[in-house]
Chains A and B, each alone.
Chain A
Amino acid sequence: MQVSAATQKNPISRLWIALKKDPLFSIVLIFMLIFVFLAIILPLLSMIGASISEKGLPLFVSYLSSPVYQTIILNTLVMGALVGLVGTIVGFLFAFVQVKLNVPFKRFMHIIALIPVISPPFAVATATIVLFGRNGSISRGIFGVRYDIYGLDGLTLVMSLSFFTIAYLNLAGMMRALDPALDEAATNLGASKWRIFRTVTLPMLVPGLASSFLLLFVEAVADLGNPLVLGGNYEVLATRIYVTVIGLYDTTGAAVLSFILLVPSLTVFLVQRYWVGRASVVSVTGKPSGTPQTIDHPLVRWPLFAIVMGMCLLIVLIYGTIIHGAFVQVPGVRYDFTLDHFDFVINGIGAQAMRDTTFLSVIATPVAGLFGMIIAYLVVRKTFRGRNLLDFGTMLGIAVPGTIIGIGYVLTFNSPMTLNLPFLGEITVLPQIAGGRAFLGGALAIVIVYVVRSMPAALRTGTAALSQIDPSIEEASISLGADNAMTFRRITLPLIRPAFLAGLIYAFARSMTTISAVVFLTTPNTKIMTQQILNEVENGRYGNAFAYCVILIAIVMVAIGVMYLAIGSTTGAERNLRGGGL
């Protein structure tokens, strides 16, 4: 003990040495560590602290032993598993048709599969009610069935359609990376296509299928928007947390429920990331040797084509309903053309919401993109203690359900953070940044949440891009006399530009469309579009909600256009755009 104490200097002096050796690196690193701690870890700790407090602990017992809450927990898990399963199947079908089949309209299918990324919450659920609800224009109008869409079936449909993009991108990337030589070898050995699919392709995709399933599970149990609209009497933890805060303002009860929700989400996330994610048998080191074989058997090709095309048309129909609904008097009931909904949104309260949301997203986007790239750079290129912790801490921003982040912020930042120092007395370290009358009208907390939620995607795309770039290029820059900052700016950043762009696009789309994390943080001075959409949907004014959705989608598309123009190069950007960014 004494020996090690003598040889190991105290942390402060070690820090000082590091600072002198590479000041910029150390300062950036310390800043990032502090940011991740304050913006992600601390709110989580507050939530956990509140749930295991004296007031919280008895609630655990009463919640976990009550049959009502047991049902809610079971509902959540069943829904997560079903959405994981169905979403993965849909994603697999899209990916398979895209990569393995020689059929027309593949570009169209690809674009359709990406649409859900920029879709506002509630849009799909609401359109589904109009189309397939009890009085839906299709279920009732065409088939004459009064179908009860509320509950598990409706939720599975809507969530699978909203989240399958994650599985699709994941699996399509994997299928492309499969070495065609294996297929060829199997063919030469006399295997049929079906046998190859069964014994070669599918086993290699198992990790991809498993990780898609788990990612979709996490997304589904975290989702708030869809269960609020379509849940009916099928209650899940996310909606329960919402009612506990909004209806009863019982933050302790909400923290306890959050803790209960955190357990499955985090477990599944960890399993995905550190076990399934690692177990990949696909070699991605080199380029595939040759072009993937396509499957031409008409009995395989056309039925699959028809299924995927059918799903594409369903998605087109849903988004068509949204756009159409924005222009008719009462969507699903009265179809007289009107611009009233746009008038209500643009000249009413919507104008402020549009300005605020766009403005805050515009601030958060570059910050999230840059922070993500910097952390990726630190994690891939530098060695320091706590490297994995920094990576993991950043990833928590997306692994933790949004409602939980929201509760954490309410508990942590709704009052100024003060330190009681000797002699100086109480000093304010951090002003109140969330809630009404907060610093900047609570806008800062919302921007930070946007950053926290989008940073992981930028980090992942950045890490992937960086690992493919030979460090010797950067070393050459250093040996030619450039410093670290110059090298990062002039060499690394341009090389990872597609990843950076993908990170930015994702950050902007995510910020504009997020609801669960900010729903508790909006204040009288800061209005958020998704919250306004929720109000309209909850009051059944679907026309107004659709008008909001149309405007929101338009803003996101214009912003993506601007980013393409400004940052350029689309090469590989879409491919790296992983929904959820995990």
Chain B
Amino acid sequence: MRRTKILVLVVAAALLLAASVPLLAQDSLTVLCTPQEDWCVAMTQAFQEETGISTNYVRLSSGESLARIRASQDNPEFSVWWGGPADAFIAGAEEGLLDVYMSENAEDIPEAYKDVDGSWTGVYVGALGFCSNLEILEELGVEAPTSWEALLAPELQGFVAMAHPATSGTAFTAFWTIVTLKADEFEAAEEGTGYDEEGAPTEAAVDAAFEYFAALNQNILQYTRSGSAPGTMAGQGEIAVAVIFSHDCVKLQEEGFEGILVNTFPEEGTGYEIGGMGIIKNGPEPEAARLWYDWALTAAAQEIGATVNSLQLPTNPDAAVSDLSVNLADVNTVEYNFSAAGTSRTAIVERFDAEIATAPTQ
């Protein structure tokens, strides 16, 4: 009896041990991945197959990524950071968290989509939009919003969601879009009030954007951690309108929400993201990180997104574009000043966290 019992335990333990591979691998790469989970899986698997380097990733939203890199800069856990709006990469480069790398493959990428000094290179682009649940809109008696003003409609109280700009690049893009629109407004009224000499929006424009988001706060149900999460909330019918990237909305439509969700754009102008990529300073696997960097800029690697319904536009002009992707040329986009956005990022998210997100709603 005793023996059998011990045997059962030993066998069970042995099975589990056999099933668990060593927790540490040798020739490896650890990617900090910001886009959606399934794209991260597809990318790392493809890279692993191509190079034989055992590739691991952690998915964090872009604000979280920046915070994590900053916190572990003395002993970084990641080697390369792939995806998420470039603003966070610019903020990171400014703090000296990223290495400069002039990849040969970066020469193919249009100048607008990369840092000329080589601290980051764009891997995809996509426009911000509104992703709305048709049924709920009808019930509330409102049209799918086509302007930022429309989001403030009292009918939508508690029926709008966006992410928290501290954690999400999507939400920060939305914030900076409003800053830009306000700056344009001021500039149109009186020259020099919207933008300073260096072309960055003025403090007054930032304050006006905070006013807008304070008003919008009354309609927000929840600030999610991840940028794309509000889209699913809209799909589930928990909210009416989600402020997310249009490609995330298309992805949802492709994955079970067709006929339920509709994708619209604000006519005043919308922001867009350049999905960045950068090498983390003092990362544990610098060579593998460069291999990844070169590879991720190739047309083949940039076509992987479409296979998992991540329909961002590739930055490599040779990469095939899915019919489902939203073309930036078809949308009224604002003049998005990425470097000014990156520079102001930290101060803005802290202020947003203190003034808007924690403020009570009625």
A interface residues, Cβ below 8 angstroms from B: 68-69, 71-72, 129-130, 133-135, 140, 146, 148, 150, 231-233, 235, 240, 243, 246-249, 251, 329-330, 332-334, 344, 348-349, 355-356, 358-359, 362, 432, 435-437, 440-441, 443, 523-526, 535-536, 538-542, 562, 565-568
Contact = CB atoms under 8 A, between A and B. Distances in A.
21 contacts: A68-B354, A68-B359, A71-B360, A129-B238, A233-B221, A233-B361, A247-B166, A247-B167, A248-B350, A251-B71, A330-B256, A330-B257, A332-B237, A355-B20, A356-B23, A436-B30, A437-B72, A440-B24, A538-B226, A540-B232, A566-B12
Contacts of A435: 72, 77
Contacts of A133: 236-238
Kindly list the 7 A-B residue pairs having the minimum CB-CB distance in the complex, ordered from nearest: A436-B77, A540-B232, A135-B237, A249-B67, A247-B166, A359-B20, A330-B256
Contacts of B256: 329-330, 333-334
B38 A344 contact: yes
B224 A330 contact: no
Contact of B67 (A130, A231, A247, A359): A247
B260 A524 contact: no
Nearest to B37: A535
B57 A524 contact: yes
Interface stretch (B58-66, B97-105, B299-307): B58-66
Contact of A524 (B58, B64, B222, B228): B58
A15 B235 CA distance: 67
A523 B77 contact: yes
Contacts of B354: 68
B80 to A, nearest CB: 12
Contact of B5 (A129, A358, A432, A566): A566
Q: For this complex, into which size category does the number of interface residues on chain B fall?
A: 35 or more
Contacts of B12: 562, 566
Nearest to A62: B354
A359 B5 contact: no
Nearest to A68: B358
B235 A540 contact: yes
Contacts of B70: 249
A135 B164 contact: no
Interface in B64-90: 64, 67-68, 70-72, 75-78
Contacts of A235: 358
B236 A233 contact: no
A436 B76 contact: yes
Contact of B64 (A146, A247, A536): A247
Nearest to B260: A333
Contact of A565 (B8, B13, B232): B8
Contacts of A535: 37, 59, 226
B236 to A, nearest CB: 6
B329 interface: no
A524 B33 CA distance: 11
Interface in B206-254: 220-222, 224-226, 228-229, 231-233, 235-239
B9 A566 contact: yes
Interface in B260-294: 260, 284
A562 B7 CA distance: 11
Contacts of A523: 58, 77
A134 B237 contact: yes
Interface in B141-170: 158, 164, 166-167
Nearest to B10: A566
Interface in B108-159: 136, 139, 158
Contacts of A542: 236
B212 to A, nearest CB: 18
B353 interface: yes
B225 A246 contact: yes
A335 to B, nearest CB: 11
Contacts of A348: 37-38, 41
A436 B238 contact: no
A417 B319 CA distance: 50
Nearest to B75: A437
A133 B225 CA distance: 20
B21 interface: yes
A577 to B, nearest CB: 20
A332 B152 CA distance: 28
B19 interface: yes
Contacts of B349: 248
B360 A330 contact: no
Given A243-B164, A348-B41, A538-B224, A249 B232 contact: no
B361 A524 contact: no
B77 A356 contact: no
A148 to B, nearest CB: 7
B260 A349 contact: no
B235 A333 contact: yes
B56 interface: yes
Contact of A249 (B68, B228, B359): B68
B51 to A, nearest CB: 18
Given A330-B256, A437-B75, 9 more contacts: A233-B361, A235-B358, A247-B63, A247-B64, A333-B235, A440-B24, A539-B228, A542-B236, A565-B5
A55 to B, nearest CB: 15
A134 B238 contact: yes
B16 interface: yes
A248 B353 contact: yes
Given A246-B64, A246-B67, A566-B8, A355 B236 contact: no
Interface in B21-59: 21, 23-24, 30, 36-38, 41, 56-59
B23 to A, nearest CB: 5
Contacts of A247: 63-64, 67, 164, 166-167, 225, 353
Contacts of B228: 539
A576 to B, nearest CB: 20
A344 B255 CA distance: 14
A240 B225 CA distance: 12
Contacts of B13: 362
Contacts of B239: 134
Contacts of A71: 360
Given A362-B13, A525-B56, A248 B20 contact: no
Nearest to A436: B77
B236 A539 contact: no
Contacts of A540: 229, 231-233, 235-236
Contacts of B17: 359
Contacts of B20: 355-356, 358-359
Contacts of A134: 237-239
A150 B164 contact: no
Contact of A232 (B38, B71, B78, B222): B222
Contacts of B77: 435-437, 523-524
A464 B36 CA distance: 49
A319 B132 CA distance: 30
B158 A148 contact: yes
Given A247-B166, A435-B72, A538 B225 contact: yes
B286 to A, nearest CB: 14
B232 A541 contact: yes
Nearest to B20: A359
A355 B78 CA distance: 22
A539 B224 CA distance: 9
Given A233-B221, A233-B361, A248 B236 contact: no
A228 to B, nearest CB: 8
B122 to A, nearest CB: 23
A568 B5 contact: yes
B24 A72 contact: no
A232 B221 contact: yes
B226 A150 contact: no
A135 B8 contact: no
Contacts of B76: 436-437
A71 B359 CA distance: 9
A568 B77 CA distance: 44
